[in-house]
Amino acid sequence: PTIKTPSLPYTNIQNQLVNASRRHFTSKGGSGSGGGGDKKEKMTFLQRFLAPKEMPPRYTPKWYGEMVLLCAVFAITGSSTMVLVR
Query: Helices in the chain by DSSP H: which ranges?
Result: 12-20, 38-41, 45-50, 61-85
Q: Tens digit of pLDDT for each residue in 42-67?
A: 889 999 999 998 999 999 999 999 99
pTM value > 0.85? no
Q: Tens digit of pLDDT for each residue in 13-36?
A: 555 555 555 555 555 544 444 444
pLDDT at 75 over 80: yes
pLDDT band of 86, cuts 50, 70, 90: confident
Q: Alpha carbon of 21 to those of 37, 38, 44, 48: distances in Å?
A: 20, 24, 27, 22
Q: Are residues 55 and 25 in contact, defined by beta-carbon separation less than 8 angstroms?
A: yes
